[in-house]
Amino acid sequence: MTQPASQVSHEADPARKAGKVGNCPDPQGVLDASPGLQLDVLDKLHNQSVLTAALFDKEMMCELVKLAALMQLKRFPVGHALNDRIMAAAFFEPSTRTRLSFESAMLHLGGKTISVADAKTTGVAKGESLRDIGQMFNSYADIVAVRHTEQSAIQELCEYLRIPLINGGNGSDEHPTQALADWYALLKWRPEIAFGELDEKFRLNIGIIGTPGNMRTVKSFLMLALLFHKNINHITIFSEMADPLGDDIRELVKSSPISIDFSQNLQQSLEYLDVIYMNAIAFLGDGYRFFGDAFSLNAESKLKDDTVILHPLARGEELSVDLDETEHNLYFNQADGAVWIRQALLLAVFGRLRDLVPAEYLA
């Protein structure tokens, strides 16, 4: 049992002991790889809703990541950029992590927030229609970030909105801004993936543990991975499902130049993998008994020295904390970058970049 707080009070403050842990690549890397920001590319996001990762092309990803890096490096002040804007954070399915990340991004930019943290406190509980909810947000806010248990809800809501909507996770469909955070971490780790051309033998082998067909973070991550096919050699999807892809993206994936296969033997494949994407896995029926250990990672796992692991926390048993202190841990950096990349997205959607970014940082 932990000793009572009152007995540690005269030690040095425990909080100060904590430092950055795991793999913390320098955001400067992406700026060295591609110095000037191309605002005309980001202009395409002005006033756009973000329903799906398919909205982003490679070029747009590059500029968003560079803008996030500039803000993370505090190259220019952004604290008043959205002073007159209100975001509604409408989380009809509770999620502290994603809701607070959107709110924090908005507040860092000087914006304001109104929030629904729990559907039980809303008319939705009384059966209020998305049509009427849409009218409400049109009148109360300038943008709305939504999480909903139903896949179709955010698109239906969009049909009644005059303001942009950002999908914060819709059922088993997508979680595009999580995928932005995933790739912001990966592109800080290896800027060449987006900004260069890797020699054949260095192209990435990516392992995805999960089922794109019914796990939104996995699906959105995979969709963005396809944008970087030039520098990705192979993707293996580890799932207990017979058909992990699902209808929505099967064709998209099959038509990609990246070779993709499916496996249930994660441990035997570790020696080939450069990047491993995990997620908290909800196993069906006896799934965990059969696959739980097989799909778990810990400090004993036979990882290559330079392999990095991504996980959009909160974690379950699939990812052992004994990996936190290692260089394999890119998942804390992934969490850390989530606010910066969401700030970049908000500035682009609100079209507030032209007056904000100093000329020296423009292409």
| 104-163 positions binding its own copies, by CB under 8 A | 104, 107-108, 112-114, 116-118, 120-129, 131-132, 134-136, 138-141, 151-152, 154-156, 158-163
Angle at 42 between CA 37 and CA 47, to 5 degrees: 150
Sheet of 143-148: strands edge to edge? Answer: 112-116, 86-91, 143-148, 165-170
Task: Work out whether 100 is an interface residue with its own copies (CB under 8 A).
Answer: yes
Q: How many residues touch its own copies (CB under 8 A)?
A: 100
Site string for its own copies, 70-99 (x = CB under 8 A): ---------x---xx-x-x--x--xxxx--
Residue 14 belongs to what H/E stretch? helix 14-17
Task: Work out whether 248 is an interface residue with its own copies (CB under 8 A).
Answer: yes
Task: Work out whether 10 is an interface residue with its own copies (CB under 8 A).
Answer: yes
Chain Cα centroid distance, residue 95: 14
Residue from 24, 54, 60, 294 touching its own copies (CB under 8 A): that is 54
CA distance 82 to 105: 11
How, if at all, do strands 259-263 and 275-277 pair?
A: unpaired
Task: Work out whether 335 is an interface residue with its own copies (CB under 8 A).
Answer: yes
Angle between helices 58-72 and 176-189 (to 10 degrees): 70
Comparing CB distances to its own copies, the nearer of 28 and 95 is 95
CA distance 131 to 116: 17
Stretch that binds its own copies, among 198-206, 224-232, 234-242, 332-340 (CB under 8 A): 332-340
Question: What's the token pair of residue 216?
Answer: 């939104």
Comparing CB distances to its own copies, the nearer of 151 and 256 is 151
Comparing CB distances to its own copies, the nearer of 74 and 201 is 74
Q: What are the DSSP calls for 132-192, one per residue?
A: HHHHHHHHH-SEEEEEESSTTHHHHHHTT-SS-EEEEEETTTB-HHHHHHHHHHHHHH-TH
Site string for its own copies, 207-226 (x = CB under 8 A): ------------x---x---
Binding residues for its own copies restricted to 250-279, rule: CB under 8 A: none
Residue from 170, 236, 296, 343 touching its own copies (CB under 8 A): that is 170
